[in-house]
Amino acid sequence: MTREAGEKSGGVMIMGRSRNTNLKIFSGMANRPLAEAIATHLDIAVGQAALGRFSNGEIRVIINENVRGTDSYVIQPLCGNANESLMELLVMIDALRRASARRITAVIPYYAYARQDRKSRGREPISAKLVANLLTTAGARRILTMDLHAPQIQGFFDIPLDHLTGVHILAEHFRSKGLDKLMVFSPDAGGVPRARELAEQLGVSLGILDKRRPEPGVSEVINIIGRAAGRQIILIDDMIDTGGTISGGARALLEAGAEAVYACCTHPVLSGAGPENLLRSCIAETVVTDTIPLPEALRGNPRFTALSVAPLMGEAIVRIHEDLSVSHLFET
C-alpha cells in the first residue's frame, strides 16, 4: 500500500494490521495494561523485555529480542512514583539505543514535572525542561504525549514532539449521554482554552470559575463567570490530583443553582487523599482516561468512568511510523 492510499483510507488500521516487524512496542511497569491495549489495537505483541530491581533498588532492564534497525516505541506514563517511572523509561531508552534500534520514540501519556515549567520566584528549577533534556540525552529521538499541563513544554524539546488531546474522547462520552442543558466550565482561567474546545465540540456555552490559591494544593472559588442555575455542568481540567479544586468548584456551582455537576480530565493523578476527596464530593460522575490507571478504590464505582486512549495513541504511533500526518487525526 502506498503512503497516499494509506492517508486516504485513514492509513492507520491497515498498516497496524500488517504485523510490520520493523515496528516494536515496549512497555514500562507504570501502565502495562495501556501498552497491551495499544499493541492489541495494532495487532502486534508487546516487546519482550525483563524489568526488575537489584537488591539495592536500582532498575534492571534487559531487552530479550532483536531490535537492530527497528522503530521502537516505549510506552511509559510518568505516574505512580514519578521518579521511578522516569528512571525506568530512561534506562529502557538507553538499552534500546545500545541495542542499535534505528529510532526510539518515548510514548509518555502523562508527562510529570509539567507543573514546574517556569520560575515563579528566585532559585526555583524548571524541572519540565530538565526532564526533556534527560529524555533526549538518553537517546529518545521523538516524543509522543497527551494533554501537557503547559503546552509551551513542547518548546523545551529539540527533538520532534507530537501532542495529542483527549478532549475528543471526553466529548464523545458526554454527547452519548443525551444531556440537554449542558454547559462547560473551566475551573480556572488557565484552563479556558481546553474548556472552550470541549464546549465547541458539544455546541454549548462556556463559563469560568475565578479562584485563588492561598497555598499549593488549596483553592477557593471567588466568583462564577457564567449562569450556572438550572444547567448540567461539565468541569474539565487536564488532571485531577488531590481533587480539592474540582470538588470545591462543583460545590460552588451547585450552590449557585446548577442541576448537576460532572467532572472530567485526561490524567487521574489522584495523589494523597485524592480518591477519598472525590468519593466524598457532590460530583455526579467523574470521567477520566486510562493514561494513568485508576486507584483500586475507584475501579468499578459507577460514579467513575475510565475511557481508553489506546486507539488514539495506537493510530498516532502508526502514523509516525509511516511518516503520515498526526494532526490529521483531529481534523475531522
Active centre residues (catalytic): 211
Q: C-alpha angle with apex 84: 81 to 86, nearest 5 degrees?
A: 105
How far apart are the C-alpha atoms of 297 and 135, rounded to whole Å?
A: 33
Q: How many CB atoms lie within 10 A of CB 158?
A: 9
Q: Report residue 131 as a C-alpha cell.
A: 526532564
Measuring CA to CA, how many Å separate 173 from each of 215, 285, 288?
Answer: 34, 12, 10
Q: Report residue 24 as a C-alpha cell.
A: 516494536
DSSP at 46: B
How far apart are the C-alpha atoms of 263 and 319, rounded to whole Å?
A: 31
Give the rounded distance of the alpha carbon of 91 from its chain centre. Answer: 22
Length of the chain as a residue count: 332
How far apart are the C-alpha atoms of 210 and 256, rounded to whole Å?
A: 14
How far apart are the C-alpha atoms of 184 and 193, rounded to whole Å?
A: 12
Q: How many CB atoms lie within 10 A of CB 51?
A: 16
How far apart are the C-alpha atoms of 147 and 132, rounded to whole Å?
A: 16
